[in-house]
Every structure is written in C-alpha cells, then in structure tokens.
Amino acid sequence: MNSSFTCLSSRLGVRRTSQRFYKSFRYQAASWSRPRRVVAKVDWHFGELFPRIGFIVTNLRNSSKNVVGFYNQRGTAEQCIKEWKRALKGTRLSCRSFNANAVRLQLHALAYNLGNFLRTLAIPETIAEWSLTTLREKLIKIGARVVSHGRYVAFQMAEVTMPRKLFGAIMQRIAALRAPPMATTT
C-alpha cells in the first residue's frame, strides 16, 4: 500500500516535504458591518490527503507570515497561562483580604517559575514533554517513606509513578546545577 502511494505520488509530482502557504484576503460575514482582513495558513504535509488550513481575522497590517507568527506567540503565552491555572490553581484566591490574596498570587507565580525551572534544566529528554500537572503528580506529590539509619536517611518511594533510574537522573541534574564550592583563603 505504501509503495503504491509512493509510486502514485511520484507520478503526480508530490513532494516529500511539507509546504506552507500564506494568503491574505478581505471577507465580510453576514453579521459584520464591514469587510475585514483574513489571513489563511495552508500546511501541506507529505502523506496527508488534505491540507491543514487555519484562518485568522485580524486588523494587523504586517505580512501574512508575520501575522501568523504573532498569533502563534500569543497562543503560546495563553497556553502557559492555562497551564498555570490548571497545574497550580493559580487563580484560586479565596482569602478575604487583598494583601493575603496578593501574597498567594505571588506564591503561585513562584511555584510556576520553579516548575518551569525544573522542567527546562533538570528534566531528562525522555520526559521533556511532560506538563507541569504531570510533573506535579508523578514527581512532587508522591508518597515516600523516610527510613532513618545511623549514618544516612533513605526515602523509599513507589516506582509506579517514577522509575528509579529516571528519578536518579533528575536528582543528578539538580545536583549538577549547584555552584562549585568557593575557595577560602586563610
């Protein structure tokens, strides 16, 4: 099946790479008072029958490619806000006083920044795509038993959520972030 598609695609002149096209046009919906600028982005991916088409209604005067880039960055920022709300309950400000809610909001922002710090600097490539919610559930909110011996303290954790090798790799990366000891002069 795949070989027949390859043969057919080569006869039709289909490229093996994805192609992206941008087009801007004016459009007026029935409920709009005037025509507006619409930017279309068409992605043709190799092996797919239909293209992926997206439309943006905008009043920006930039080139079509720059308009799509601007809205993609905006969407990325909104995804970060949504992740902050879901993973850390960042909008849960249930205190009665303004100052208490301000402190709570700052603590949520600090927790989000620490989570992103952990995700960007200490997480191995195998789990780099994990969201903050997944990191919180599988790495931070796990039960452990503390066993104290004469010379050391051990944490015994269930390997259901986080395998030992993966947890060890994260701990090694965190330890590598520590600054080297400063030399003292005497």
Identify the pLDDT of residue 22. Answer: 96
Identify the pLDDT of residue 62. Answer: 94
Residue 133 is assigned to a structural domain of this protein: no
Residue 119 is assigned to a structural domain of this protein: no
SS3 assignment, position 127: helix
Identify the pLDDT of residue 80. Answer: 86
β-bridge partners, 19: 44
Maximal CA-CA distance, the chain = 82
Residue 87 is assigned to a structural domain of this protein: yes
Identify the pLDDT of residue 2. Answer: 45
CA distance 14 to 162: 45
- Amino acid identity of residue 56, one-letter, is I
Asked if residue 162 lies in contact with residue 139, where contact means CB atoms within 8 angstroms, the answer is yes
Residue 163 is assigned to a structural domain of this protein: no
Residue 174 is assigned to a structural domain of this protein: no
Identify the pLDDT of residue 184. Answer: 75
Asked if residue 71 lies in contact with residue 56, where contact means CB atoms within 8 angstroms, the answer is yes
Residue 52 is assigned to a structural domain of this protein: yes
Identify the pLDDT of residue 186. Answer: 64
Q: Per the structure, how many domains does the chain have?
A: 1
**Binned average pLDDT, 10 residues per bin, the chain of 186 residues:** 46 69 96 96 92 95 95 89 87 91 92 88 88 86 87 84 85 87 75
Residue 86 is assigned to a structural domain of this protein: yes
Asked if residue 59 lies in contact with residue 37, where contact means CB atoms within 8 angstroms, the answer is yes
Identify the pLDDT of residue 68. Answer: 95
* pTM (predicted TM-score): 0.59
Q: In sequence order, which residues have a C-beta less than 8 Å from that of residue 155 and are 6 or more positions away? A: 144, 145, 146, 147
Any idea which residue has 């795949």 for tokens? 2
Residue 168 is assigned to a structural domain of this protein: no
Domain of residue 64, residue span: 2-97
